[in-house]
Amino acid sequence: MRKLFLLFSHTLTEKQVADAKESLGVEEFVYLPTELQRFWSSIPPHLEVLDEYLSSLKAYIERNAQSKDLFLVQGDFGACYAMVNYLKTKKIDAYYATTQRKTVERLEEGKVVKTSVFEHVRFRQYQ
């Protein structure tokens, strides 16, 4: 069974779920446990180096992931870079979601209000 682990701060959309199943062959989606999810979603910006901070996440991967599994990695740029490189050492493929921005303008009480909506396009593998 192919799993997609989510190092991701959001909930997948229905379109993302359908795409992952169709294009990546995913059969199971694995969200991080609550504590690790909070940890991933709020990486302290003042840290100069992330190695120690990310060690519990790496330990979770060691215990739970196999080389046939996939990871969706999005969030803090430095943490993503570190985790994608770590996953590569484990021979685990990592992906990120690509989106298309659609901007809508409307007139509200004499003011132009601009709203951007991001729509999923595809998953792209980190190279």
**The model's pTM:** 0.89
Residue where the block lists tokens 């509200």:
108
What is residue 101's predicted lDDT score, i.e. its pLDDT?
Answer: 93
- pLDDT at site 96: 98
**In the chain, beta strands by DSSP E:** 3-7, 28-31, 70-73, 93-108, 111-125
In this predicted structure, what is the pLDDT of residue 100?
96
- Average pLDDT over the chain, rounded to whole? 96
pLDDT of residue 108: 93
CATH number listed for the domain at residues 3-125? 3.40.50
Structure tokens at 77: 């740029």
Query: Taking Cα atoms as reference points, which of 54, 56, 90 lies closest to residue 70?
Result: 90
Q: Are 119 and 103 in contact (CB under 8 A)?
A: no
Give the model confidence (pLDDT) of 51-81 as tens digits. Answer: 999 999 999 999 999 999 999 999 999 999 9
Confidence of residue 16 (pLDDT cuts 50, 70, 90): very high
89-115: average pLDDT = 95
